[in-house]
Amino acid sequence: MLMKIDNTLEKQFDEMGEDHTSAAEDTPLRDDAFDLDDSEKIARIRGSVHEIMLTLGLDLEDDSLKGTPDRVAKMFVKEIFGGLRPDKKPKSSTFANKYKYGEMLVEKNITLYSTCEHHLLPIVGRAHIGYISNGTVVGLSKMNRVVDYFAKRPQVQERLNIQIVRELQKVLGTDDVACVIDAKHLCVNSRGIRDIESSTVTAEYGGKFKNEDTRREFLDYINLETQF
């Protein structure tokens, strides 16, 4: 019976091919996602990685490999999927815009490391964020932290774009927020078609950024050559 179920799932995945996207703006999480503490999660993942490596025929008594299940488990829980924990969300303090700056603020070239939720392979790229203050501003580093938080989970790039913008809209109390992401997906670059040159660009525009002139100004800022 189990084999029959597995074969059915395998057929469904084969039919989907590479065209599997998620319609949800929120990261899909089970109701019991936070029932286990970090140590319990690490222990379970350690055992699973151990079994995967054994199945692949690797010698886990080798000095180079015997610590790998533990390293992978800790990396999953503490690092690359740390953004799954609500308590890790950055506290984004805002400040009154006392200097009455009314133009667009853009922070570009924010380094982005994420993980494709379809193959658990890296996504590496840059995020560019812009907003127009309606009376409050946020510290520049907080935008980097918001990107990092939502990137540290299994992701679809379109959803990541939306989550970043929605969070900053909430923090800033304005719809006038935009984010463009340009990233390489190693599930495309290193497997499958193995196209090492291609990258994926996605955008989410809110409020005034839906206006063509405002959007063009934002994109022009992104394309400015940064001088040091």
Q: Which residues are catalytic?
A: 116-119, 157, 185, 187
Tokens at 89, concatenated: 């969300």
Q: CB-side exposure of 182: number of CA atoms within 13 Å?
A: 11
Assess contact for 204 and 161: CB atoms under 8 A.
yes
Q: Please tell me the distance from the alpha carbon of residue 79 to that of residue 121, in angstroms, as a whole number.
A: 14
Tokens at 146, concatenated: 């918001």
**Parallel/antiparallel/unpaired status of strands 154-155 and 104-116:** parallel
Conformation bin of residue 20: beta by default, left when phi > 0, alpha when psi is -120 to 50: beta
Q: Element (H or E) spanning 188, and its range?
A: helix 186-189
Assess contact for 204 and 178: CB atoms under 8 A.
yes
